[in-house]
Structure 1
Amino acid sequence: MTNKKMSWTKVLGRLIKYTWHASPATFVLLVISSLFMSTLGFLEIVSIKTLFDNAVDVANGEAIELIYKPIIGLLAIVALYPFGEWLEYMAQGYFWRRGSGYMKFLHHNRTSHMKSIEFEDSTNIDNLKKASSGSEDAPSGLRIIVQILFLYIPYILSLLIYLVNINPVLVLVIVLIFIPTFLLERIRVEQSFEFEDKMGNRRRKTEYFEKCIISREYFKETLLNGSFKYFLRLFTESNKEFSKEFVSTKRHILKSSVCMKLLNSIGFLSVLMLLVYFVYSGVISIGLFAAIYYSISKITTMLRSAIEAMGGALVGISNTSFLIRLLDDNCDLGKEADIPKDQDIQLRDVSFAYPNARGNALQNINLTIKAGTSLAIVGENGSGKSTLTKVIMGLYDPTKGEVVYGDKALHPYSNISKFKGISAVFQDFVKYKLSVEDNIKMSNITCEMATEDSLDKVEINLPELNIKGNTILSREFGGQDLSGGEWQRIAIARGLYRPHNLIVLDEPTAAIDPIEEANVFESFKRISIGKTCVFVTHRLGSTKIADRIIVMDKGEIVEDGTHLELLNMQGRYYELLQSQAQWYER
C-alpha cells in the first residue's frame, strides 16, 4: 500500500462523491438548512442597522412609529432561529450517520478483498487503522465544508458588501485580521496529519498494552501470572513516547497560536480605533457606529468560527486521505470461476516467505493430494505445517511456484472462487459471542438447514450442556460460556456445516484429550468419505487413520508415506512418535 500524500482537492472531490452517494436527500437538506441560517443571520444585521438608524432619527424628533417595523422583523427572526437550528441539527446528524455508514461500508468492503498475507505486515495493519479513523472523520469534515460554502461564506460576503458601502477600508482591515488565524489553522492541519502518519504504529501498541491490562480477554492470565506491573510498564513507556510526540506537536502549534492571535488582537483594536476616528471626523453617526460595531463583532465571530471549522474540516479530510489511499491502492480482485475442489491438488515447486522474514517458511514443496483422500501433516513447531495448509487453501499465495486444483492454478482467481467448496477449522478458532446456532450457521449463512446434524457429528448435546440453540455463548452478553473442548467442537461443527469438498483441520483438537481426539478424527474419516481431508496434528497417534502422512522440517517435506511405511523407515516420523510415546509409559 502506498504512503504517498494526496492533494486536498482530490480527497475533497472523492469525499463529496461518496457522501452524495450515501444520501442525496440528506446532502440537499444540509445545504438548505445552511442557506436558511445564513439568510437569517444577514436579515438580523439588516434589521439591527435599520433599528439603530431609526432610533437615532426618533431621538432627533422623528415619529416613534419608525422603530416598530425593525422590532417586528427582529422578533420574527428570533422566532425562526429555533426552527433553523433544529433543521440544521437534524441535517447534520443524518448527514454524519449516513455518510459514516457509507464510508465504513467502503472501508469494510475494501478490507474484505485484502489477502491474508497483508495482515502479516505491520505497515498494512497501521494503514488499516488509519483508514478506519478516516471513515469516521470523513462526514464531519465534509459537513463543515458544506456549511462553510453555504452558511459562512454567503453570510460573510453579504456583510462585507454591507461594509463596503460604508467604507472599503473596513473590509481590508477585517481581512488582514484573519490572515494570521487562517495560517494558524493551516499549520495545525499539517502538524496533525504528520503526527497521525508518524505515530499510527505507536498508538496501536499503546492501545494493545492497555488492552492487556484491562480487557476481559487478557485479565485472568495477566492477574494470575502477576504480569500487571509488566504490562503497566510497557503501557507507560509506550504512552510516554506517544505523549512526548503529541506534546511536541501541540507546543509547536501553541507557539504559532500565540503569535497569530497577538496579531489578530492588534488588528481588531485597529478596527475599533478606525471606527472611533470615523465618528470623530463625522464620516459616520453614532447610530451607524453601533450598527457597524455589531456587524464587525458578528463577522469577527463568524470568520473565526469559519476558519476554526475549516481547520477541523481539513484535519478530518486529512484523515480521510488514509481511507482514500486504501481504496485507491491497486487491489487485484482476481477472476471469477468455478474452481474444482473435488479433483487432485498439486503443489508445484512451491516456496513461501512472510513479509520482512529472513528466509522462506516453505522451500521447494512438490506435493500431489489425490481427490477424496486424507493427508496428515506432522512436524515440530515452526516446521511449516500451518503455513503449508494456508498455501494449499489459497489463503497465502506462493512467492514461487503454484498451487493447482484440477487444471486451474489458484493464484489468479478471486477469494470467493478460491474458498468456495473449502472448509477449515484452525487451532486459533474464533469464539464468536453469538448464539449457538449463529456460531455454526455463519459458515453458510444462506442455508436453512438445521444445525443438529453438525452438532451430532461432533457429539455436542445441547440439553446436557443446559443450553439451547439461541443461547448466547458469552457471559459478557448475559449468556453462558463453554469449556475449551466444547468450544472446539462448536468450531468443528461450524466447519462441517459449510458445504465442502476439501476440509482442512489445523490442530483443531488441541483442547481435547488424546482419546477424544482419536474419536473426532475417526468421525472425520467416516464423514469425509469421498472428500479430500488435510489435517495437522501434533499427536502422531491420530495420524494412522490418514491415507497418507508427510513430515515437515524447516519448511521442507522430509518424509512421505503411510503410517506403517514411515514406521518401517525408522526416520524422523518414527523418532517423533517414540518421543511422544514416552509420555504415556507408566
Structure 2
Amino acid sequence: MNKGKGMSNIKVFLKLIKYTWLASPLTFSVLIVASLIFSILRYSEIVVLQSLFDNILKVANGSTYDIMITPILAILVILILNPVAEWLEFLAQGYFWRRGNGYMQSLFHNRINEMDLIDYEDVKKFDDIKKASLGNQEAPNGIRIIVQILFLYLPFLLITALYLISVKPMLVFAIVLIFIPVLVSELIKISDNYDFEDKIANRRRKTEYFEGCITSKEYFKETLVNGSFNYFYSLFVDSNKKFSKEFVNVKNKLLKIAIVMRGVNTLGYLSTLGLLIYYLYNGSISVSQFAAVYYSIDKITTMLKNLIANIGEALAGISTTSFLVRFINEKKEIEIEEELSKTGDIVLRDVSFIYPNANKNALSNVNLRIKAGTSVAIVGENGSGKSTLTKVIMGLYKPSQGEVQYDGKNMEKYSKSSKFTNISAVFQNFIKYKLPAEDNIRISNFSSQDSIGNVSSQINLSFDDLKINNETILSRDFGGQELSGGEWQRLAIARGLYRPHNLIVLDEPTAAIDPIEEANVFCTFKKLSNNRTCIFVTHRLGSTQIADKIVVMEDGKIVEEGTNQELINLKGKYYGLLESQAKWYKR
C-alpha cells in the first residue's frame, strides 16, 4: 500500500473503524455477534466429528449405541444453527453496507461542500476528488470484511491451531506454509493496485471525458453537426489503450508473483497431508484423530482461502478508501464563524491572483474601493480579468497575494457561511436546474415563505406567458418543458433577486437578451438594489452609464476607473471600447 501523505495506513484503518461504528453501532455489534457464532459453529463441527468417530470405533468394539446419541444431537444442533447464523449474518452485512455507505457518502459530500471553487481548477486536487469518490462504495465493504476476519476467521483459526498443537505441533507449521505465501501475494497486489489508482486517476478522467463527448446529451448536438464522432472516438480509443496498457502491466506482474506463491501454497497442503499419513502410520494419532484433523485441515484450507480472498478484498477496499479518508481528514484552516457585514465598503488591497498551473497572473496588484450602496460596472475585453475579479471580490477565489476587506475585515479569514450570507449572484453560465419552475427560483432562499411573484414581475417574467405553472419540471428529460435561452436567463435573474442580499453580483447574465432589454434589466437591478451594493460585468458598454463607477480591466489590472462621463472625457481605453462598439449599431 502507498506510503500515504499526512496520514499512515494504520490511522486510515482506525478512522474507518470509527466511521463505520458511528454509522450504526447496533449493526456493527450484530455483525460481530454473528461472526463469533459462525466461528464457534465451525470449530464445534471438528470437535463433534472427532467425538462421533471415537464413539463409532467404540461401538465397533462392543460398546452400546447409547454413546452415539450425544454427538448425533450435537450435529443436529449445529445443522439447525448454521442457517440461523447465515440469515443473521446476511441481514447484518446488508444493513452494515447500506448504513456505512450512506454515512461515508455524507462525509464525502460535506467535505465537498467545504471546498473552494479554485480546487476544481487545480488538476491535482480534482484528481484527488475523483479518487476519493471511488472510495465511497468500498469503505463499508472493506470494514465489514475486516470485522469478519477479526471475529470469524481469526478466532476459528486460533482455536483450531491450538487443537492441532494438542494433536501434533508440526501440523501448525504446515498450515503456515499454506497461509503465508498467499497473504504476501495479496499484500503485493494491494500495494500495486493503490499505486496504479494513484497514477492513473488523470488518465481515467480523460478516457471518461472522451467517451462523454461521444455519448452524452451535452455534447451530442455539436458532435453530430461537426461530424467529429471519429475524432473523439480515436481520442477515446487511444486514451483507453494507454489505460489498458498500465492495467495489463500491473496484472502481469501480479500473475507472476501469484504463480510462485501458489506453488509454495500447494507445497504446504501436500506437506500437511503427508504428515497426517506419517503420524497415522507410526501410531502417533488415532483413526478418529486422523479423520477429525483431515476434516479440520479441509475446513482450515477453505477458511484460509476465504480469509485470503477477504483480506485481498478488504485491503483493496481500504486501499481505495484511503483516498477518501485522507480527503475527508485534510487539515482545514480555522475560520471565523461570526457574521461578516456586507453593508460597509469593500476594499481590495494589492490583490493578485493566479490560477493553478498557470504561467501568469490573472489579476495583478489590484487596488479598488467599492463604496457601500453604490453600483459598479466592470468592463474590459475578453480575458482581461473581469470575471476573476468578481469571484475574488465575492470570496469564491482567495487572493494569491493581498486581501479583500469587507467593512475593514479580511474576508479570507471567515467561513463560507459567513462570506456568502447576504450575497447574491447571477453568472453568465448559470445552472438550469431540472426542477419545478418555482423551485428554480426558490432554491436561492428555501427558508423564505415569500411569494416568487414579486421578483418575477419586476423583471417581466410571467409563468402564464411561458405556458407553465409552478410545478412544471423545466426539462424534457423528466417529462417537463424546456425554456429558451432568454427565458432561462430571466428565471436565473429572478433567482438572484429572490435571495436576501446587501451585495449582488451580475457576471454577464444578460448575454442571451438584446442590448435594450439588458439596459432595462440593469436599471431594474439598480432600482431594486437601492442602498445596496451592486457589481455587474458586461461587454456591452451602453449599459454602463447607469453605474456610479466604471472599472476598466486590461491584462488583469485596473487601467481606468470613474463615471461614464469622466471616462469618455479621458478618451482612454474605455472611450476606445465605446467607440468600437458604437460602430456595430451604425448603418
> Into which bin does the TM-score normalised by the smaller protein fall?
over 0.9
Give the Cα–Cα distance (whole angstroms) in 1 for the partners of residues 464 and 82 of structure 2.
Answer: 62
Shift of 1:160: 1.5
> Aligned residue for 1:324?
325
Please give the residue correspondences for 1:152-167 in structure 2 after superposition, counting only pairs within 5 Å: 152-167=153-168
Match of 1:355, SS state, is: coil
- The 5 A counterparts of 1:112-511 are 112-511=113-512
Q: Using structure 2 for the length normalisation, give the TM-score.
A: 0.96
Shift of 1:544: 2.0
Q: Deviations over 1:337-378 (max 9, x none)?
A: 222212211112222111222111111212111211111111
Q: CA deviation at 1:416?
A: 1.2
SS in 2 for 1:375: strand
SS in 2 for 1:388: helix
The separation in 2 between residues aligned to 1:413 and 1:260, in whole angstroms, is 56
* Range 478-487 or range 26-35, more displaced: 478-487
Q: What secondary structure, in the 3-state scheme, does the structure 1 residue paired with 2:412 have?
A: coil
Q: Deviations over 1:259-300 (max 9, x none)?
A: 101111121112122222222223334443222211101111
The answer as to whether partners of 1:6 and 1:321 remain within 8 angstroms in 2 is no
Query: Structure 2 matches for 1:33-182, cutoff 5 A?
Result: 33-182=34-183
> Is 1:574–2:575 an aligned residue pair?
yes
* Partner residue in 2 for 1:525: 526
Shift of 1:131: 1.8
Q: Alignment partner of 2:510: what SS?
A: coil
Deviation of 1:101 after TM superposition, in Å, equals: 1.9
Q: CA deviation at 1:72?
A: 2.8
How far does residue 45 in structure 1 lie from its aligned partner after superposition? 2.2
User: Which amino acid in 2 is paired with 1:530?
Assistant: N
In structure 2, distance between residues paired with 1:46 and 1:453: 80
Taking the aligned partners of 1:251 and 1:449, their CA distance within structure 2 comes to 64
**Residues 426-468 of structure 1, C-alpha deviation per residue, up to 9 Å, x if partnerless?**
1111122222222222212222222222222232211222222
CA RMSD of aligned residues (A): 1.8
Q: Tell me, yes or no, if the aligned pair for 1:30 and 1:91 is still in contact at 8 Å.
A: yes
Gaps (5+ residues) in structure 2? none
Q: Secondary structure of 2:444's partner?
A: helix
Q: Distance in 1 between matches of 2:484 and 2:62?
A: 93
* Distance in 1, Cα, partners of 2:4 & 2:446: 37
Deviation at 1:403, TM superposition (A): 1.4
SS at match of 2:377: strand
Query: For residue 16 of structure 1, what is the aligned residue in structure 2?
Result: 17
Shift of the 3–565 alpha-carbon distance from structure 1 to 2, 3 Å rule, reads farther
**3-state SS in 2 of match to 1:305:** helix
Q: CA deviation at 1:186?
A: 0.8
Return the alpha-carbon distance in structure 1 between the equivalents of residues 238 and 414 of structure 2. Answer: 45
- TM-score, normalized by length of structure 1? 0.96
SS for the counterpart of 2:167 is: coil
The verdict on how the C-alpha distance between 1:504 and 1:468 changes in structure 2, with shifts beyond 3 A counting, is: same
Q: Percent identity?
A: 59
The residue that corresponds to 1:563 in the other structure is 564
Deviations 1:63-87 (CA, angstroms, capped at 9, x unpaired): 3444343233222222222221111
Q: Give per-residue Cα distances to partners, 1:514-563, cap 9 Å, x unaligned.
A: 23222222221221122111011112222222222121110111222222
| Cα offsets for 1:191-217 (capped at 9, x unmatched) | 111111111111122112222221222
Contact kept? 2:111, 2:328, Cα under 8 Å: yes
Tell whether the 8 Å contact from 2:12 to 2:326 is kept in structure 1 after alignment: no
Report if aligned partners of 1:378, 1:536 keep a CA contact under 8 Å in 2. Answer: yes
Q: Deviations over 1:130-167 (max 9, x none)?
A: 12222332211111111111111111122222222221
| Equivalent pair of 2:47/2:292 in contact (CA under 8 Å) | no
- Whether the 8 Å contact between 1:22 and 1:98 is mirrored in structure 2 is yes
Report the AA paired with residue 571 of structure 2: Q
CA contact (8 A) 2:376 2:536 kept: yes
> How many residues of Structure 1 are paired with residues of Structure 2 in the alignment?
585
Summarize the Cα distance change of 1:258–1:354 in structure 2 as closer, same or farther, 3 Å threshold: same
**Whole-Å Cα distance in 2 between the matches of residues 225 and 83 of structure 1?**
62
The 3 A distance-change label for structure 1 pair 79 and 479 is farther
The whole-number CA distance in structure 2 between the counterparts of 1:6 and 1:392 is: 35
Structure 1 unaligned residues grouped into runs of 5+: none
Q: Secondary structure at the match of 1:499?
A: coil
**Whole-Å Cα distance in 1 between the matches of residues 88 and 586 of structure 2?**
79
